[in-house]
């Protein structure tokens, strides 16, 4: 039987960050994933300041910054009119901006770092069951392989087998809207160094630049298609955007339905949860992947301390610290989503309200601090 100190199930951004953060401290780690290859699609494109801070100790931040676009402003508009502008450049951090880079880039750089540290992902390897006792956890895989670990971390996403095997509930609900995502080539008045949200009466849309010259367009719509067409993205931008933008090509597109759920606990004995396995929420504010990476960094510190002989109660502290943060993020993104998808008749009133909030410096500072993740330091 193979043995390891920490078995990490799932090699998305959360599992990769955790593995690199443990390997850098010399911990014996096994990282497995059910997929034959890592995902290479765009998905979460906004990396916030706090994430860049927590990736520093594993020497991934400088590599990521080199490949991303720094966007120091986050602006909410109604057509050409600015309702609220968040300026990240005044934030007390070495990274006073949102870094725009596709999730595939973040994952590639994390994996490169794992290889440098002598680690790798064992794949395809699908976790089937977990059984724990006082000294460890026995993991059985669908290929009948058995691994004995001192601790197991579920970084295995929203439909987490680890969470299920640990008997941890995942409370919450779903939104009725689906979200369209497209990385599109645009010409015209598209932003090159800021994230722009258009809160039009016709609905919300987000436009943000990506390093490959495309622009990420996100919009809540009824029944988003699996592969959005140029005509559909054009219509969304015409109806909801500032006008004067032409879509020439959709390089990548997707859709997703969103849920808002938080695991009832992040710990059951020697089994721990992090990332989407522990929380899922609306993409409004771009917090999902960031929160998972930040969970992973916090959990790595905790596991290193416990493996070094620290008290077991540190694992409860991890759960007690990280879970309320997820609840706050779910609440914030829920509020933003509800505001963005208010019934049409209420949208002009909402925009007047936003315009007023946009002139209150402490309110915009507080929101910038929250979206940058720095408030959770």
Cis peptide preceding 110, ω within 30 of 0: no
CB of 154 to ligand FAD, least distance (A): 9
CB of 324 to ligand FAD, least distance (A): 18
Say which residues have a Cβ less than 8 Å from residue 129's Cβ, sequence separation at least 6.
139, 140, 165
Of 61 and 103, nearer to ligand FAD (C-beta) is 103
SS (H, E, C) 164-212: HHHCCCEEEEEEEEEEEEEEEEEEECCCCCEEEEEEECCEEEEEEECCC
CB of 45 to ligand FAD, least distance (A): 6
Q: Indicate the pairing of strand 170-188 with strand 245-263.
A: antiparallel
Of 96 and 124, nearer to ligand FAD (C-beta) is 124
Of 53 and 156, nearer to ligand FAD (C-beta) is 156
Q: Indicate the pairing of strand 271-273 with strand 267-268.
A: antiparallel
The CB density around residue 327, as the number of other CB atoms within 10 Å, is 13
Of 179 and 199, nearer to ligand FAD (C-beta) is 179
User: Cα separations (Å) of 242 from 86, 203, 278?
Assistant: 19, 13, 37
CB of 100 to ligand FAD, least distance (A): 11
| Cα angle value 214/218/224 (rounded, 5°) | 115
CB of 355 to ligand FAD, least distance (A): 26
CB of 266 to ligand FAD, least distance (A): 13
Say which residues have a Cβ less than 8 Å from residue 22's Cβ, sequence separation at least 6.
6, 29, 300, 303, 304
Of 40 and 187, nearer to ligand FAD (C-beta) is 40
**Closest by CA position to 259, among listed 330, 328, 340:** 330
R_g (Cα) of the chain, nearest Å: 21
CB of 339 to ligand FAD, least distance (A): 18
CB of 121 to ligand FAD, least distance (A): 9
**Closest by CA position to 358, among listed 148, 76, 108:** 76
Say which residues have a Cβ less than 8 Å from residue 289's Cβ, sequence separation at least 6.
13, 43, 44, 47, 51, 103, 106
Of 181 and 358, nearer to ligand FAD (C-beta) is 181
Residues in contact with ligand FAD by the rule CB under 6 A:
9-15, 32-35, 43-45, 103, 126-127, 155-157, 161, 181, 254, 256, 275-276, 283, 286-289, 292
């Amino acid at each position: 039987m193979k043995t390891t100190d920490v078995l990490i199930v799932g090699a998305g951004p959360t599992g990769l960050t955790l593995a690199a953060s443990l390997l850098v401290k010399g911990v014996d780690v096994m990282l497995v994933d059910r997929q034959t290859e890592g995902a290479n699609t765009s998905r979460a494109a906004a990396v916030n300041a706090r994430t860049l801070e927590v990736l520093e100790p594993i020497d991934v931040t400088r590599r990521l910054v080199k490949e991303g676009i720094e966007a120091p402003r986050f602006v909410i508009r109604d057509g050409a009119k600015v309702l609220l502008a968040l300026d990240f450049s005044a934030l007390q951090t070495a990274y006073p901006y949102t870094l725009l880079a596709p999730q595939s880039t973040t994952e590639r750089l994390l994996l490169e770092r794992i290889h440098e540290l002598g680690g790798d992902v064992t794949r395809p390897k699908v976790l089937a069951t977990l059984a724990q006792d006082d000294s460890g956890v026995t993991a059985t895989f669908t290929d009948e392989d058995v691994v004995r670990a001192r601790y197991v971390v579920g970084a295995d996403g929203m439909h987490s087998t680890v969470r299920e095997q640990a008997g941890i509930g995942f409370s919450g609900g779903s939104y009725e809207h689906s979200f369209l995502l497209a990385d599109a080539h645009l010409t015209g008045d598209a932003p090159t160094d800021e994230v722009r949200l258009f809160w039009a009466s016709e609905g919300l849309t987000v436009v943000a630049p990506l390093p490959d010259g495309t622009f990420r367009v996100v919009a809540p719509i009824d029944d988003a298609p699996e592969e959005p067409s140029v005509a559909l993205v054009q219509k969304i931008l015409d109806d909801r955007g500032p006008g004067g933008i032409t879509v020439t090509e959709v390089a990548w597109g997707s859709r997703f339905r969103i849920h808002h759920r938080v695991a009832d606990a992040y710990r059951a004995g020697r089994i721990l949860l992090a990332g989407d396995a522990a929380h899922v929420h609306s993409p409004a504010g771009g917090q999902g992947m960031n929160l998972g990476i930040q969970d992973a960094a916090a959990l790595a510190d905790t596991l290193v301390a416990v493996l070094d002989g620290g008290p077991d109660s540190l694992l409860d502290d991890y759960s007690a610290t990280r879970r309320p943060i997820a609840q706050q993020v779910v609440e914030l993104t829920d509020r933003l989503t509800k505001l963005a998808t208010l019934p049409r008749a209420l949208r002009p009133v909402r925009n007047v309200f936003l315009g007023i909030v946009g002139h209150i410096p402490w309110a915009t500072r507080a929101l910038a601090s929250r979206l940058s993740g720095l408030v959770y330091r």
